[in-house]
């Protein structure tokens, strides 16, 4: 595991926007559809970055179905020292904010688009982020209001697309990729999730959801394949108990795959133009 270089620079964001004064790089993690493991990927990438030596946060932008608190084993309400801003919750060295901390767990979010997008903007701006190198934004599925708000009001340095190998998933992932291109957010690469399953009893390897779909999509659109992640029961089990696999079993093949994907993501971001704003990193 190679440590990240210090200091971590801020990279260029969309026209008309400037990097957040306490966040060097916002990275959006999106997919064109649900059920591909996007939130699990976002959380494990964040923990992997933290293990590599970065200061990291996660913003759960899925207003209607927030799952990041459960995946990080967090509950309760965040503190507001001045009744205006919110202290992020923390787990595994990662700062986190989610609408899930502010509403009852069993209450459905019956909000129209403007209310949801306003909530996202407030969570981003009003959270007291503590000098982050990377803020991972876990987007909801699709290409709707939340994604548009992200592109227009939140300074994003790059995006990662999560897909599974089968054609029906990459079909929707292509839409997410094209959406980021249209709003001038660079796509840093594709993460292919649930790429291969190895039987825990006999060691037989199967591509249950097809093979090579992420690689073909990456080649078609000229973006890197950041990594192929396994379909591993440990990833699901650890996510359910609130301990990401990267933290629970750092030496496992699954954890190493997440770390490798995080390293490749940082490498691709490093190729992007810098913001030109001198922000001193607190990395040691």
- pLDDT tens digits, 97-127: 999 898 876 666 666 777 888 888 999 999 9
Of the pLDDT bands very low, low, confident and very high (cuts 50, 70, 90), residue 152 is: confident
Q: Write down the pLDDT at residue 39.
A: 94
Q: What is the dihedral of CA 111, 138, 10, 265, to 10 degrees?
A: -160
Average pLDDT over residues 26-36: 86
Domain positions in the chain are 23-269
210 has pLDDT over 60? no
Range among 28-42, 214-228, 261-275 with highest mean pLDDT value = 261-275
Share of the chain above pLDDT 90, in %: 55
pLDDT score recorded for residue 149 = 86
Per DSSP, 127 falls in state: B
Q: Which of 85, 42, 26, 22 is nearest to 191 (CA)?
A: 42
Which tens digit of pLDDT belongs to each residue from 160-183? 999 988 777 787 888 889 899 988
Q: What pLDDT is attached to residue 98? A: 95
Sign of CA pseudo-dihedral 68, 71, 76, 81: negative
pLDDT over threshold 70, residue 278: no
Average pLDDT over residues 256-275: 95
Give the integer Cα–Cα distance in Å for 279 and 232.
39
The residue-averaged pLDDT of 210-216 equals 74
Whether the pLDDT of residue 209 is over 50: the answer is yes
pTM listed for this prediction: 0.90
Q: What architecture (CATH level 2) is domain 23-269?
A: 3-Layer(aba) Sandwich (3.40)
Asked if 204 and 169 count as a contact pair (C-beta separation under 8 A), the reply is no
How many angstroms separate the CA atoms of 167 and 248, rounded? 32
Q: Do residues 99 and 77 touch, judged by C-beta distance below 8 A?
A: no
**Statement: residue 69 has pLDDT above 90:** yes
Exposure string over 97-130, b if 16+ CB within 10 A, otherwise e? bbbbbeeeeeeeeeeeeeebbebbeebbeebbbe
Query: 10 Å Cβ neighbour count for 173?
Result: 27
In this structure, the strands spanning 158-163 and 23-30 are: parallel
């Amino acid at each position: 595991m190679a440590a990240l270089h210090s200091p971590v620079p801020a990279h260029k964001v969309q026209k008309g926007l400037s990097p957040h004064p306490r966040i060097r790089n916002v990275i959006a993690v999106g997919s064109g559809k649900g059920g591909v493991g996007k939130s699990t990927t976002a959380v494990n990438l964040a923990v992997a970055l933290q293990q590599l030596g970065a200061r990291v946060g996660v913003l759960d932008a899925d207003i209607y179905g927030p799952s990041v608190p459960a995946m990080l084993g967090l509950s309760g309400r965040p503190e507001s020292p001045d009744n205006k801003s919110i202290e992020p919750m923390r787990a595994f060295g990662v700062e986190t904010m989610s609408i899930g901390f502010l509403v009852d767990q069993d209450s459905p979010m019956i909000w129209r688009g403007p209310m949801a997008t306003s909530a996202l903007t407030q969570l981003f701006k009003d959270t007291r982020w503590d000098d982050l190198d990377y803020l991972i934004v876990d987007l909801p599925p699709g290409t709707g209001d939340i994604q548009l708000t992200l592109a227009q009001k939140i300074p994003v340095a790059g995006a990662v697309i999560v897909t599974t190998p089968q054609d029906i998933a990459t079909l929707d992932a292509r839409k997410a990729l094209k959406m980021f291109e249209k709003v001038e957010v660079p796509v840093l690469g594709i993460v292919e999730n649930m790429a291969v399953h190895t039987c825990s009893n006999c060691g037989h390897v199967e591509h249950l959801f097809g093979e090579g779909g992420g690689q073909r999509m990456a080649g078609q659109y000229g973006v890197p394949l950041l990594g192929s992640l396994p379909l591993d029961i440990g990833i699901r089990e650890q996510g359910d108990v609130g301990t990401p696999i990267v933290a629970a079993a750092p030496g496992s093949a699954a954890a190493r795959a997440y770390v490798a994907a995080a390293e490749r993501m940082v490498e691709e971001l490093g190729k992007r133009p810098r913001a030109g704003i001198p922000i001193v990193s607190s990395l040691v």
